[in-house]
Amino acid sequence: MGSEQGTREGLELARALSAYPRMIRRGDKFDPIHVAKQTERIVCRNGARKYTAFYATGVYGGIATGYVVGCCLRCFFCWTDISRDFPEAYGRCYTAEEACENIVKAARKWRVSKARISGGEPTLCRKHLLELLELIEERDEVKLFILETNGILFGAYESYVKDVAGLKKVYVRVSLKAGEPGAFEARTGASREFFELPFRAVKALLDHNVRFHVAAMTDPRIMPPEERRRLIERLAEIDEFLAVNLEEEVCDPYEGTLVRMQFYGLDPIEFFGRRP
């Protein structure tokens, strides 16, 4: 019986992977909620999640980081390594307890008190993330956990935001990708009908008194000035303070970015030859 079930699950996963979006070309589009579920079938296992590494980096003034596998968007400017596009080929599963211990170990080793998970979309594998955050709450070594997100799942499921709201160490960073539906679809591969989800996430975080701020990929080589203006106006409709304090991102030439741009149809050498 167990063997039959394993075979059946393997066949189902193989079918799912046959249509799994990797890198995008111009005109590609998909349902990001469906892709989130597809990705979770690959990277989540009974409360555990796939990670590739644990160490500290210099961003945020020094932060211990667990690098996860998998995302529900396919931004052509994404900086992460190729595990985003081929999650079945990278990483291994860690329970929430194991991930917490590795993150705390990195924090101690590099003498930092902030932590995060990055390299993919942290809100995939909901059970794992919530268990990890609860464990982090109990650890004195970590004073602040920065939860980076594209906002898709928080926007789709307000109950998820409620689950995070009571956690004292959590600070959320929502990264917006576009200021209009067509640009959202073109840059992320996610169908334009899902454009509002990150903004709904922002509204839900505000309504539930979660500490957070908003970032956006407003690099002028990617986002035209008029679109940037509309994005800030849309954000101001939710809360003016968030709009005034928007963190504006710039695209950097990471290896993964160069490969994805080339696949998308942009010349990365020409792109990065222009100043932002």
Q: Could you report the per-residue pLDDT of 78-99, keeping only the tens digit for each?
A: 999 999 999 999 999 999 999 9
Residues 69 and 66: their CA atoms lie apart, in Å, by 10
Per-residue pLDDT at 117 exceeds 70: yes
What integer pLDDT is reported at residue 2 of this predicted model? 54
Residues 177 and 268: their CA atoms lie apart, in Å, by 19
Q: How many CB atoms lie within 10 A of CB 14?
A: 9
Contact 25, 265 (CB under 8 A): yes
Residues 168 and 24: their CA atoms lie apart, in Å, by 38
State the residue range of the domain holding 234: 23-272
Residue 150 included in any domain: yes
Percentage of the chain beyond pLDDT 90 is 92
Cα distances (Å, whole numbers) of residue 229 to 108, 175, 187, 237: 42, 16, 18, 12
Q: Evaluate the CA torsion angle 129, 130, 134, 135 in order and state its sign.
A: negative
Residues 123 and 44: their CA atoms lie apart, in Å, by 11
Q: Residue 169: in which H helix or E strand, if any?
A: none
Least confident of 5-14, 35-44, 204-213, 262-271: 5-14
User: Pick the residue with more confidence: 10 or 174?
Assistant: 174
Residues 176 and 259: their CA atoms lie apart, in Å, by 22
- Structural domains in the chain (count): 1
Percentage of the chain beyond pLDDT 70 is 94
Residue 37 included in any domain: yes
What integer pLDDT is reported at residue 51 of this predicted model? 98
Residue 50 included in any domain: yes
Per-residue pLDDT at 66 exceeds 90: yes
CATH of residue 252: 3.20.20.70
What is the average pLDDT score of the chain?
A: 95
Cα distances (Å, whole numbers) of residue 23 to 69, 82, 171, 256: 15, 9, 30, 10
- Categorize the per-residue pLDDT at 12 as very low, low, confident or very high, splitting at 50, 70 and 90: low
Per-residue pLDDT at 6 exceeds 60: no
Residue 5 included in any domain: no
Contact 65, 118 (CB under 8 A): yes
Residues 28 and 174: their CA atoms lie apart, in Å, by 24
DSSP 70-119: --S---TT--S-GGGT-GGGS-EEE-HHHHHHHHHHHHHHTT--EEEEES
Residues 167 and 163: their CA atoms lie apart, in Å, by 8
**195 secondary structure, DSSP code:** T
Contact 191, 167 (CB under 8 A): no
Residue 1 included in any domain: no
What integer pLDDT is reported at residue 11 of this predicted model? 58
Mean pLDDT score, 200-217: 98
Mean pLDDT score, 162-189: 98
What integer pLDDT is reported at residue 5 of this predicted model? 55
Per-residue pLDDT at 74 exceeds 90: yes
Residues 148 and 119: their CA atoms lie apart, in Å, by 10
Per-residue pLDDT at 4 exceeds 70: no
Per-residue pLDDT at 15 exceeds 60: yes
Residue 7 included in any domain: no
3-state secondary structure of 252: coil
Per-residue pLDDT at 43 exceeds 60: yes
Mean pLDDT score, 182-191: 98
Least confident of 14-23, 124-133, 172-181, 216-225: 14-23
Residue 14 included in any domain: no
Residue 15 included in any domain: no
Per-residue pLDDT at 77 exceeds 90: yes
